[in-house]
Amino acid sequence: MSFLRTGLGMLVDGYTEGEIRDSLTAEMHFFEKRRLEQQRVFRHMAQIAPAFGVVGSIVGLVGLLVGLGDTAMSAPRRRLTPSEPPPHPSAVANP
């Protein structure tokens, strides 16, 4: 809409056909140049994005491997066979 508005505004202001054509041609050129630059940026981001995923996976894996030997970092472990049987439901009275 801005392109059309600029052209009509120049026409109403009395610019010649050549001046309007030159101005709008320059505007189209710079519009295309901006779009190509934005396209280049997004294509580059798309190329390097998988590398960030791999780096995140490696960092997480290293953190996991570092914590494997440290029992303080792991959740408390529960024995598979408890040393004493669980209390009978009748022994746990509701006051």
**pLDDT by residue (tens digit) across 42-62?**
999 999 999 888 898 998 888
Say if 33 falls within a structural domain: yes
pLDDT at residue 21 tops 80: yes
> Which one-letter DSSP state was computed for residue 1?
-
Residues 6+ apart with CB under 8 A from 70: none
pLDDT at residue 81 tops 80: no
pLDDT at residue 24 tops 80: yes
Say if 21 falls within a structural domain: yes
- Give CA–CA dist 85/41, Å, rounded: 65
Q: Number of structural domains, the chain?
A: 1
Q: For 82-93, what is the mean pLDDT?
A: 64
Q: Which domain holds residue 27?
A: 2-54
Say if 10 falls within a structural domain: yes
Say if 8 falls within a structural domain: yes
Say if 81 falls within a structural domain: no
CB–CB of 34/16 below 8 Å?
A: no
Say if 91 falls within a structural domain: no
Q: Which residues of 35-58 are buried (b: 16+ CB within 10 A; e: fewer)?
A: eeeeeeeeeeeeeeeeeeeeeeee
pLDDT at residue 79 tops 60: no
Say if 75 falls within a structural domain: no
Say if 29 falls within a structural domain: yes
